Amino acid sequence: MKAISAENLSVAWLDAVDHLLTTPKGKDVNLVVAFRGIDEDPAIRPLVDAFLGDRSARRSEAVYPIETVASTLFPESWYVPERAAQPRDHLYRCFELAQRVHKRVSGEEETYFGRLVSYPGPNGERVNQLEEQVTRLQGQLRTAAPKSSAYEIGVVEPADLRLQVPGRDRLYMGFPCLSHISLTLHGGAIHLAALYRNQGFLRKGYGNYVGLARLGRFFATELGVAVGEIACVASHADAELDVGTKAGLRQLVSDCRDALGSAAPACEVDRAA
């Protein structure tokens, strides 16, 4: 087990890849990566995306940009709280409309966000976990508010978002790599802990962190609280040397470290507008 804690998601990802580059074949188990809030160093994503684009051009298999990976978990462009009268309803409606078209993609009947808002229940019913958890946590906040006004009493309310469907997800490889997200309301902030049964750090890791940060921002907006800590546990962590090569990844990490802080100070992860 290795635990990494960093001040923002960009540095967390760099530290994780650095660690994996010291392990045999770039792989490890139970890699825990945590970052505070939803800040990102704006210089890093373009470098990682450029590297991914270069690798994509060399492979027959698609290598997706960070934005695409992040949107599979939380398509933030459909969540417009500053303009929509019912922003959550708008988000869910856009998802329904998109699914009509998305289902035509061969082999990709389901998405991570689909599991969040349309999880297959045991009797065939569809469960909107996102809505249930927002409603539940809002209820808890209403109860706790009077107490916290005098003394900052932590309200600990665990909640779960399931992505893996027991008995149905039987693939050794592929969807879903993200099994579970736990939400904890504590100290006036919402904290997320995500469990990946397998996490590819080159092709998915950075996008996973951006997606989780945006999901955290969604809950924070709906609950009127801050985003606390976001932690990811990769039961199996893979630097994906077969895609990036050890030398290539070392150079990427080195370039990114040189660029840290060069564009602007770390700031809140951009909105997918």
Partner 1 sequence: MAVTVEQVWQEAVRALAFVRVLTEDEVQADADGCGGDLVIKSKDAEVVISLVEEALGGDPLVDISQLSRRELTSLRTLTDLLIRRWGELHGAAA
| Helical residues (DSSP H) of the chain, grouped into ranges | 9-20, 44-58, 66-73, 87-102, 112-117, 129-150, 206-223, 241-244, 246-259
Kindly determine how many residues on this chain lie close enough to bind partner 1 according to the rule CB under 8 A: 20
Considering only 57, 60, 83, 123, the residue that binds partner 1 (CB under 8 A) is 83
Does 57 engage in binding with partner 1 (CB under 8 A)?
A: no
Three-state DSSP state, 267: strand
Q: Is 71 or 184 the residue whose CB approaches partner 1 more closely? A: 71
CB of residue 171 to partner 1, shortest distance in Å: 19
Give yes or no for residue 2 binding partner 1 (CB under 8 A): no
Residue 171 backbone phi and psi in degrees, to 5 = -70, 135
Residue that is written with structure tokens 């698609």 in the block: 62
Tell me how far, at minimum, the Cβ of 16 lies from partner 1, in Å. Answer: 26
Task: Choose, by CB under 8 A, the member of 58, 100, 168, 170 that binds partner 1.
Answer: 100
The minimum distance between CB 117 and partner 1, in angstroms, equals 14
Total residue count of the chain as it appears in this document:
273
Q: Does 71 bind partner 1 (CB under 8 A)?
A: yes
Q: Which of 67, 169, 229, 255 binds partner 1 (CB under 8 A)?
A: 67
Question: What DSSP assignment string belongs to 34-97?
Answer: EEETTEE-TTHHHHHHHHHHHHHHH-SS----HHHHHHHH--GGG--TTT-SSHHHHHHHHHHH
* Integer Cα distance of 23 and 18 in angstroms: 9
Of these, 127, 220, 241, 272, which contacts partner 1 (CB under 8 A)?
Answer: 272
> Contact residues for partner 1 (CB under 8 A)?
67-68, 71, 75, 77-78, 80, 83-84, 90, 94, 97-98, 100-102, 104-106, 272
